[in-house]
Structure 1
């Protein structure tokens, strides 16, 4: 799951689109072009509208001038975290424009300010990042996401994550009980499927999945490290957002999150 966005073309507004077989058609409060159904819901009419929108309404697929996959939600949260570390008050329009879910948007009147703040971010210093890495390869297994309190794994009765103090596994009691914490550790999957975590002579067995289980085999030695970061590391989000803002300024249409 991630954050996508688009900017509509002006074909419908400028009378260049083919006639819609049903109607009326208009923009909703978030900027989506939609079928206005003031009376009882009509599924046939809605299907006809979406077939027109996706078909030959105009040369632009779905009447979208620009459509972007902005970032997955972890990427969004990491960018928001970097904004806060750089001084969120320096980027008020950008910080307010980024959503917490897949809806809403921001109007074309704000696109110039968002572009300017994106440029200011690219020129700013970025705080270091806390990450859990595979010591054998140096590859990042997980980054510390402040908005998630560092948690990136869940299971029955437990959750695990990484924060500036190290890797941790906690039970889901209230308050949570720390089962294991270390800045550097090894892991081993036991025959019964549980995982043995070891650090500094301490060994803990937890009924959990191995960390980095998507790798084959999972890493054996892991460590929490602080990595230096630059604004270029966030180009994955900055560049698509710049393209969306440019399209919004060109058309006068909003950037719509979806």
Structure 2
């Protein structure tokens, strides 16, 4: 699960494709190329249309560009970094980045986003990030995601995560949610019962939940710290965004979030 996007090519718009075997076809109100009239359910007409889009031009599914941007946590972390650097530098990104699957970004906005991505990579100054690390390896086990109020693990009877005050486990069934455990440095042990024991010098609790970190060999000692982060760390989403925006500018077609 995550955020993907694509940009249609111009082959159909420019008359470079064979006629659709069924039709008429056109862009619907959401921006998708589709049958103007479609019956209920998936019909032979729909199958013929899908076959046409798969083979009518050199672009797979008539897409000039198609990208997986990130899982939703990675997307939220990118938005968090933009906010830390100052949303005033990124008005187009703030307006156009989606908060859920679906929607589109017009090509004229993509022009502005390209400039803002250049600014982010070359000039942005980002605050240090809050992380929970494995003391033995220094590997990051959890990152603070403000959009999720720090919660990154959830299951029956618990919500867990990390925020600027430390690692926490909440009981979501109480009102308000009660804090079962909170610590900036603690030990975790997977017990024979399958529960996980979390302890520090003040408190020890046992909870039926997944351990924090590597599921193969979960870290024993974890601590909260702040780490420097740089724009280059967000290449996983900046580069596919840049490719999508360039395709939108070249075709005049919107970026379709999906």
Which TM-score tier does this pair reach, normalised by the shorter chain?
over 0.9
Distance in 2 (alpha carbons) for counterparts of 1:20 and 1:75: 39
* 1:108-142, Cα deviation, whole Å (9 max, x unpaired): 11111111111111121011111111111111111
C-alpha deviation, 1:156, in angstroms: 1.3
Partner of 2:119: 120
How far, CA to CA, are the matches of 1:37 and 1:200 in structure 2? 67
How many pairs are equivalent?
256
Question: By how many angstroms is 1:31 displaced?
Answer: 2.3
8 Å Cα contact 2:53/2:61 also seen in 1: yes
Decide whether aligned partners of structure 1 residues 190 and 39 sit closer, same or farther in structure 2, where only a CA change above 3 A counts.
closer
Structure 2 runs not aligned, ≥5 long:
none
Q: Distance in 1 between matches of 2:135 and 2:61?
A: 47
Give the distance between the partners of 1:41 and 1:217, measured in 2 at CA.
48
Tell me how far 1:39 sits from its aligned partner. 6.5
Aligned twin of 1:174: 175
* 5+ long unaligned stretches in structure 1: none
C-alpha contact 2:38 2:46 (8 A) present in aligned 1: no
Structure 1 residue 215: Cα displacement: 2.9
Question: Deviations along 1:88-122, whole A, 9 cap, x unmatched?
Answer: 12211111111011111111111111111111111
Distance in 2 of aligned mates of 1:108 and 1:60: 19
User: What SS is found at the alignment partner of 1:52?
Assistant: helix
- Greater mean deviation of Cα atoms: 167-176 or 44-53: 44-53
Equivalent residue runs for 1:100-119 within 5 Å = 100-119=99-118
Following the alignment from structure 1 to structure 2, what is the Cα–Cα distance between the partners of residues 131 and 65? Answer: 38
- Report what 2:71 is aligned to: 72
CA distance in 2, matches of 1:92, 1:8: 25
Equivalent residues in 2 for 1:58-207 (5 A)?
Answer: 58-122=57-121, 123-172=123-172, 173-207=174-208
So what's the TM-score if we normalise by structure 2?
Answer: 0.95
